[in-house]
Structure 1
Amino acid sequence: MTEIIAGLTTGAIYAMVALGYNVTYLASGVLNFAHANLMVAGMFVAYWANSIGGLPVPVVFIIAFVLAGLAGLAEERFAIRPLRNTSGSAELVTMIGVATVITGVIAIMFGTDPLRVPFFGPEQPVVVLGGRAQPLDLIIVGVAVALAVVLHLVTHRTRIGLAALAQTDDREAAQLRGINVGGLSMWGFAAAAAAGGLLGPLLVAKTFAVTSLALLLAVKGFVVLVLGGVGSHRGVLVAALGIGLIEAFGARYIGPLYRDVVVFVVFAIVLLALPHGLFGDRKVRAV
């Protein structure tokens, strides 16, 4: 049970990254590959707050939330909007460039060495169904599940969510029906980025604050996104928790050096059987 809880916690972290990808994709049709970098930036905000004497925890979360949200607005305004009339993979390459810039700025300010951030202080483990877990593990899993449920309901039960689905299916048709796709894109980037920054201080107690973590989270988040189905929040959650469990048991029974190999083997097998992911929608167009 201890291994299961550890795997679910890891999967929940991957889910948070992939859910951020989903939000920007549904709002603008763009996968924000800098989302994991903004989460890591939130971790360094927690480190900064801890290093200057310890700001109140709510203040740290607010600072990370606001800074990441402003960064998301800047990404959409200056990196994505000018490329709307271009073709090909310009937006994808641009977001990878933005991610590199964010990582570079963090490295200049804080260095590249792993930094331990005791943001929440020591915790006594609790027993859950016979397994031992830190309270923060349960909080992380609960936040990921709640976030996926809320996003699913917002996407399918609200006007703004249905508008996002419409622009994802056909951006020009959505514009003709009066949907402000520009505003939807801008606020989608801001909301996803702000949420990522908010989650950074929550996650830093489970990891180190280190710039290299962004690439790991970005890759695993993308694997989860494709496996669960692009645009499907419930698919992302299921896939992320499954990947976390596969990693945990792969490291235990096969070896820690092979856990990523096991994940990508399972990833390839699933996509061979389900090319659109576990819950992805298959779109058919008449040509």
Structure 2
Amino acid sequence: MARRNWKLELPLHLMLLPGLALVLLFCYGPMVGIAIAFQNFNPMNGLLGSEWVGWEHFRYIYGLPDTMAVIRNTVFISLMKIAAGLVAPIATALLLNEVGKRLFKRTVQTVLYMPHFLSWVIMAGILIDVLSPSAGIVNQFLGWLGFPKVLFLGNSHLFPYVLVATDVLKEFGFGTIVYLAAIAGINPALYEAAVIDGAGRWKMTLYITLPSIVPIVVLMLTLSLGNVLNAGFDQVFNLYNPSVYSTGDILDTYVFRIGLGNGQFGVATAVGLFKSVISLLLISVSYMLAYRFANYRIF
């Protein structure tokens, strides 16, 4: 019987081979470069010919005055994105769930979902024009209301919040669809029983809809914990500038500037390795929490 099952499953295993080959080539193959974190890497000498320096780069990183500030920026921006990215989709899904006209509901869903498909290169170009202090529509509107113009992308105090707001603007449509799907799976008999008992829409939302989607909310929250050190390289790189480095610089952009800008390949790799190890621990913890509180398992 086992042999027969093996023959039936063989085509499925063969279908996995191309994907497995790509993973080995592009995900595991480059991990050889981790050795650069422990070398004074010289591209002319390669991995085998470069001098080994042990933990020197990690000690050097720890002594840099910018390192802790970059880590704080990364964690702060990531946590704000996680919080805002949780609240906005849930609120929008609850509001759309109350819309009776299907055409209007589907139209709003489509409009909200569209920015998800835009790359940050395109999105950043749009945002730079919209938030421009000279000709941007946002500052023009503020001027009509009598407020002074705001340098959104050049003010170090505002920049982290601009990152969070624009990230929510781009991605919350996707989360809205996830929560709408969870709401659609709620047993209609619960609402029918609530109507018989005289409950209004607010009471049904508070005592039926929200408790019913708690498992998916917990799941999305715990899975997002693994991305605490991923504050969004594409977004930050396309929107930031030297005037906001103090509050907008994150680990990924820091590594990019050190490695490619200054040619310190060993130091940049050491920062990247530090981030990867911490991210691995956070992802492991998040999956443990997802299994415990949301009964979610990969295998």
TM over 0.5: no
Structure of higher CA gyration radius: 2
Q: Which has the higher contact order (CA 8 A, sep 6+)?
A: 1
TM-score w.r.t. structure 1 length? Answer: 0.31
Identify the structure with the greater helix proportion: 2
TM-score w.r.t. structure 2 length? Answer: 0.30
